[in-house]
Chains A and B, each alone.
Chain A
């Protein structure tokens, strides 16, 4: 996937998960709704200042916006997954790793099911 589109989807996901409109996010970044829309579709590349500001607004690290490729991060994820889910009891589609930022969401889903 094109990196601009990947970053755009991350921005859109963060904005929507914070129930924020494009206009509201535009205000926070001192820009226009059209610009936010173009970031989200990947038509426009976000610069480092914008990503830094977005990280602050949504309280995520700048790494959040990029695909995870390196082995070090994969290794970290395996450890987190083991801790969170009783060692490998969870099967992910085609063995793909769950991103760090989603582990809590999965954990919450499992916990809520167990409570039922």
Chain B
């Protein structure tokens, strides 16, 4: 796992008054979770693929910062699956958190989107969003 990225995200959570529980009490197939009402994220440190943990943390933090609530979950989750769902929005928010961190010290010509995807085990179907976010990041940086 990229421990520096994980620490960066924990600091981000702390700065934004988001509580976190990093637990080893859950079974390996238990998902990490967010409880936006309580501004809390729960990360399952027993998850089999450790590489995924920073992205999971970023994803769960986004649920809290987006203020996802019961209504949005019921509405989006049951009516709009796919790109309009709250889970999808949390994925995009997770990418938006990780891209500026990851590419901060990398020159644009050396930026490797696939290396980024691999480093955090980001699902391949999100590749287009990673590319978009990376492009946006370097434009802002100019």
A110 in contact (CB, < 8 A): yes
Scoring A6, A88, A93, A102 by chain B CB atoms within 10 A of each residue's CB, the highest score goes to A93
Q: Is B28 a contact partner of A92 (Cβ separation < 8 A)?
A: no
Minimum Cβ distance to chain B for residue A64 (Å): 8
Q: Is B35 a contact partner of A110 (Cβ separation < 8 A)?
A: yes
Minimum Cβ distance to chain B for residue A109 (Å): 5
B56 in contact (CB, < 8 A): yes
Specify the main secondary structure of chain B where it touches its partner.
Answer: mixed
B38 in contact (CB, < 8 A): yes
- Residue of chain B at shortest CB distance from A95: B87
Question: How many residues from A make CB contacts under 8 Å with B?
Answer: 31
Residues from chain B with Cβ under 8 Å of A17 in the complex: 25
A91 and B90 in contact, given A106-B42, A110-B40 (Cβ under 8 angstroms): yes
> Which A residues from 53 to 99 make CB contacts under 8 A with B?
67, 85-99
Q: Is A9 a contact partner of B33 (Cβ separation < 8 A)?
A: no
Interface string of A1-27 (1 = CB under 8 A from B): 100001001100100110000000000
B108 in contact (CB, < 8 A): no
Contact of A91 among B27, B30, B60 (CB under 8 A): B60
A89 and B32 in contact, given A1-B48, A13-B27 (Cβ under 8 angstroms): no
Contact of A94 among B21, B46, B87 (CB under 8 A): B87
A101 and B27 in contact, given A91-B68, A106-B33, A110-B35 (Cβ under 8 angstroms): yes
Q: Is A102 a contact partner of B30 (Cβ separation < 8 A)?
A: yes
Minimum Cβ distance to chain A for residue B65 (Å): 12
Q: Is A114 a contact partner of B31 (Cβ separation < 8 A)?
A: no
B70 in contact (CB, < 8 A): yes
Minimum Cβ distance to chain A for residue B21 (Å): 5
Could you list 22 examples of A-B contacts with CB < 8 Å? A6-B29, A9-B48, A17-B25, A85-B35, A86-B37, A89-B35, A89-B69, A90-B33, A90-B34, A90-B35, A91-B34, A91-B63, A91-B68, A91-B87, A91-B90, A94-B87, A95-B77, A98-B31, A102-B27, A105-B23, A109-B42, A114-B38
Interface residues of B (CB under 8 A from A): 19, 21, 23-38, 40, 42, 46, 48, 56, 59-60, 63, 68-70, 73-74, 77, 86-87, 90
